[in-house]
Amino acid sequence: MKASMTKLLSLAVALLATFQLSAKDYDVQDFGAVADGIALNTNTIQYAIDFIHENGGGRLVFHAGSYVTGSIYLKSNVTIHLERGATLLGSTNPLDYTYEKICAWHSLIFAIKQENIGITGQGVINGRGFITANNRLNLIHRGYNPGNDLITLDRPREWNRPQNIYFRECKNITIKDITLRDPASWNQTYDQCQNLYVDNIYVDSKSYWNNDGIDIVDCKDVVIKNSFFDAADDVLCLKSHSFEHMCENVLIDNCVGRSSANGLKFGTVSRGGFKNITVTNMTIYDTYRSAITFAAVDGAHIENILVDGVRSINTGNVIYLRIGNRWSRGKEPVMKDITIKNVYAEVPFHKADAGYNYEGPIEDLPRNISPASIVGLPEYKIENVTLENVEIVYPGAGNPYYAKVGLTPEELDGIPEQPDRYPEFSQFKELPAWGMYIRHANGIHFKNVTFKALASDYRPAIVLDDVNGGTFEGMQYIEPNSEGKNQLFDYKSQNIEIK
């Protein structure tokens, strides 16, 4: 683990060095681009990119002003530089965007198989996605539906809505200082890319459904740091679309996120896997679902993960680790060697993201506040999970007359396995613990872990079910009126050691 971290840091330094070479600057207005917020500049910007690409590379500089554009393709050795006050404004006409077959997606800025590219500067990319998405919907309703969109959930499907950035199979990418806002779909996706360096970006991505913060798909050697994300959907999202690829060597440092879904998420699509991932100094707040969700539901191998330093404030759930069996096509999922330490978290009683336009969906009730959960499958155990220096504050107040799962074998065995369900901390509805529920796991190590309930709860703090090997050291349970209550209940478990 230590070795991989040093590797990552040296990688970051290497990346910094790489991106000094694009020396020459070109002013996009010199190509005739008009920054009036009305004129559509697609072809002019594209021409400028191609020109720089063919003439040895450099930066395409946008001075202050609003530049409307449809889909453009970034090319090797070209950096788009948005100065403070410059906005790349997405066209609101959905037909101004290209459906890129390799990505099977629409985007404002594409890069396909390019090297040494970047988007930098203190300017803004504003997709105006709410308008574009609704305009697409209008075209579909009148019968002009080129993508044969079935408008599931009464919205155009994600791939028929443009996001801000989609880079695929690119190398040496710098995304620095920019603001990304209001995409119509996910926000920025880096798919099978290598050497990605994201630093000091600001993301406001909550204008329409499925607005993620950042999606890292099957990438190698990635640094994301010093950035802020506010998203309607998952914020820091690592995915694995390909059985042949995985996310590997990723460092996420000093980021702050807000989400109406999850903060840090591996998945949902999780085929290849996630390996050697380090996340440090992360703050998650006002977030509907989990601060941390790792899901291996499509055959992913998740291993060697370190999360060190988390503040999770007003977040619906804190930790959710899950092995499922959804689109695995026979590939056997693995989740092992996970360390989460130095965590302080507060879970609210009310809806953590109430008041945001695209609030997370209210699911079928009743359910008392859910615990953090580590849930494998009987045939695929989650292995070797360490929690160290963790404090989670819960509202407590679980009321058995509202919803109840007790500790009898019938009740515990009655909790469904749901191998093929979409993985969310709330998927099992009521769970029998208020602090932590662990099922189908081998090797659980808790050290200096505190669970605090602000009101008394009918459930114990921890329930273990089918856990083989566990050490619990320096545990603290704080719950009003709980004298004599057994806060750790184990069932069908062995080799459990409490110090």
Partner 1 sequence: MNKRNLAALLLGLLCLTQVSAKDYNASLFGIKSNGTTLNTTAIQKAIDYISEKGGGTLQFYVGRYLTGTLFLKPNVTINLNEGAVLVGSTNPYDYNLETPYCALIYAKEVDNIAITGKGVIDGQGRALAYNMMDQIHQGILDDDLKYDRPSRRRPRGIYLRECDNVKIQGILIKNTCDWVQTYDQCSNIVLDGITVDSKAYWNNDGLDIVDCKDMKVLNSFIDATDDAICLKSHDANSRCENIEIRNCVARSSASGIKFGTVSAGGYKNIRIINNKVYDTYRSAITIATPDGGQVEDILVDSLYAYNTGNAIYLRIGKRWMGEGRSVGTLKNVTIQNMYCEIPATKPDAGYDYEGPIEDLPRNISPASIVGLEGHDIENVTLRNIELVYPGGGNPNYAYCGLKPADLDAIPEQADRYPEFSQFKELPAWGLYVRHAKNLTLENITFKALARDYRPAMVLQQVDGALLEDITYIEPGGGKKQLHTYKTTGLVQKK
Partner 2 sequence: MNKLKFIALALASVCTLSLSAQVTYKASYFGVKSDGSTLNTRSIQKAIDHISEQGGGTLEFYVGRYLTGTLNLKSNVTIQLHEGAVLVGVTFPYDYTAAGDTKAIICAEGQENIAVIGKGVIQGQGTLLLGNVQTQINKGNLKESVAQASPALISLKNCSNVKIEGINLQNPCGNVMVYSDCKDVTLSNLAVTSRQTANSQGVIFSGCTGFSMTDCYFDTTGDALASAGTSTNVNISGCKTPNGKQLKAKK
Binding-site ranges for partner 2 (CB under 8 A): 30-32, 34, 38-41, 43-44, 46-48, 51, 70, 93, 95-96, 135, 138-139, 142, 144, 146
Could you tell me if 477 and 446 are in contact, meaning their C-beta atoms sit under 8 angstroms apart?
no
141 binds, options partner 2, partner 1, none, Cβ within 5 to 8 A by partner type: partner 1
**Minimum distance from CB of 396 to partner 1 (Å)?**
38
Of all helices (H) and strands (E), which one includes residue 8?
Answer: helix 2-18
**Minimum distance from CB of 132 to partner 1 (Å)?**
14
**Minimum distance from CB of 46 to partner 2 (Å)?**
7
Closer Cβ to partner 1, 142 or 350, answer by number: 142
**Minimum distance from CB of 153 to partner 1 (Å)?**
18
Provide the b/e sequence for 390-405 (b: ≥16 CB within 10 Å). Answer: bbbbbbbbbeeeeeeb
Residue among 17, 23, 101, 142 that touches partner 1 (CB under 8 A): 142
Amino acid identity of residue 161, one-letter, is R
**Minimum distance from CB of 103 to partner 2 (Å)?**
19
Q: CB under 8 Å to 332, separation ≥6 — which residues? A: 299, 380
Closer Cβ to partner 2, 52 or 284, answer by number: 52
Counting residues that bind partner 1 (by CB under 8 A) gives 4
Residue in 311, 261, 322, 264 with CA at minimum distance from that of residue 289 = 261
95 binds, options partner 2, partner 1, none, Cβ within 5 to 8 A by partner type: partner 2
Closer Cβ to partner 2, 140 or 433, answer by number: 140
Q: Report DSSP letters for 87-115, one per residue.
A: EEEEPS-GGGSEEETTTTEEEEEEEES-E
Strand partners for 319: 292
Q: How far is CA 155 from CA 159, 261, 428, in A?
A: 11, 18, 27
Strands 98-100 and 105-112: antiparallel
Query: What character string, x for contact with partner 1 (CB under 8 A) and - otherwise, covers 82-121?
Result: ----------------------------------------
31 alpha carbon, distance to own chain's centre: 38
415 alpha carbon, distance to own chain's centre: 27
454 alpha carbon, distance to own chain's centre: 29
Closer Cβ to partner 2, 147 or 469, answer by number: 147
Closer Cβ to partner 1, 138 or 399, answer by number: 138
327 binds, options partner 1, partner 2, none, Cβ within 5 to 8 A by partner type: none
Note the residues at the interface with partner 1 (CB under 8 A).
138, 141-143
